[in-house]
């Protein structure tokens, strides 16, 4: 990517993130992003194709930083902590990430037939499977991981936090409880 194109892309993503934080993702338009980044609207369309492409790029930018934290960051989220502690930290951190960018996750969510196969979700699922295996959890680890992933779905988080009014601390405690029940040794 040319240096000027890279600068424009970064400026557009920064402007879009700022607008999402100020207005919410559902109110962000391509024209508003162009204006906030001081570029022409055509530049936004050429770079991202459409509004969904822009939102996906913004999510991708945020997701890469988040993935670095749980793949290579400090414990307990990153390597070096016992697997169950990492799993607890992963869920709490993911809930916080989702809550911080919930409007963006909802706006950029693919249709139901593609939702479960998107790359960021697959990275998270693979990470949970790895941690469950390291913790030597009994049962079908892949299905247990899918169950845990269901708890972290943007639509559920939206329902629980915004429609049911549940506080983040309650959602985090629920995650810890679910993990404890899944990793509990067989009796």
Q: What is the pLDDT of residues 70-81, one digit of tens each?
A: 999 999 999 999
Asked if pLDDT for residue 187 goes beyond 60, the answer is no
pLDDT-derived band at 109 (thresholds 50, 70, 90) equals confident
**Which of 3.40.109.10, 1.10.10.60, 1.20.120.790, 1.10.287.610 would CATH assign to domain 1-49?**
1.10.10.60
pLDDT-derived band at 145 (thresholds 50, 70, 90) equals very high
Asked if pLDDT for residue 186 goes beyond 60, the answer is no
The closest of 113, 16, 110, 116 to 57, measured between CA atoms, is: 16
Identical fold for domains 1-49 and 52-183, yes or no, is no
Arithmetic mean of pLDDT, 178-182: 96
Arithmetic mean of pLDDT, 167-180: 97
Report helix angle 30-37 to 41-48, nearest 10: 110
Instruction: Identify the weakest region by mean pLDDT among 12-16, 118-122, 140-144.
Output: 118-122
Arithmetic mean of pLDDT, 128-142: 96
Q: How far apart are CA 163 and CA 148, in angstroms?
A: 21
The closest of 124, 125, 121 to 109, measured between CA atoms, is: 121
Output 187 or 171, whichever has higher pLDDT. 171
Asked if pLDDT for residue 127 goes beyond 90, the answer is yes
Residue 50 DSSP code? S
- Residue spans of the domains in the chain: they are 1-49, 52-183
pLDDT-derived band at 37 (thresholds 50, 70, 90) equals very high
Find how far residue 183's CA is from the centre of its chain: 24
List the end-to-end C-alpha distance of the chain, in Å, as a whole number: 57
Class of domain 52-183: mainly alpha
Q: What is the pLDDT of residues 155-168, one digit of tens each?
A: 999 999 999 999 99
Asked if pLDDT for residue 64 goes beyond 60, the answer is yes
Please give the pLDDT value at position 1.
Answer: 65
Q: What is the pTM of this model?
A: 0.79
């Amino acid at each position: 990517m040319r240096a000027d194109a890279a600068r424009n892309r970064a400026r557009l993503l920064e402007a879009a993130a700022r607008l999402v934080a100020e207005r919410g993702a559902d109110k962000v338009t391509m024209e508003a992003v162009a204006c906030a980044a001081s570029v022409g609207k055509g530049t936004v369309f050429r770079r991202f194709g459409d509004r969904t492409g822009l939102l996906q790029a913004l999510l991708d930018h945020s997701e890469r930083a988040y993935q670095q934290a749980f793949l290579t960051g400090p414990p307990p989220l990153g390597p070096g902590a016992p697997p169950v502690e990492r799993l607890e930290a992963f869920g709490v951190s993911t809930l916080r990430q989702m809550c911080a960018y919930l409007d963006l996750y909802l706006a950029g969510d693919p249709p139901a037939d593609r939702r479960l196969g998107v790359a960021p979700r697959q990275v998270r699922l693979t990470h949970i499977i790895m941690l469950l295996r390291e913790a030597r959890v009994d049962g079908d680890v892949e299905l247990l991981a899918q169950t845990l992933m269901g708890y972290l779905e943007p639509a559920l988080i939206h329902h629980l936090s915004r429609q049911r009014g549940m506080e983040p601390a309650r959602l985090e405690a629920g995650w810890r409880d679910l993990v404890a029940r899944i990793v509990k040794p067989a009796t």
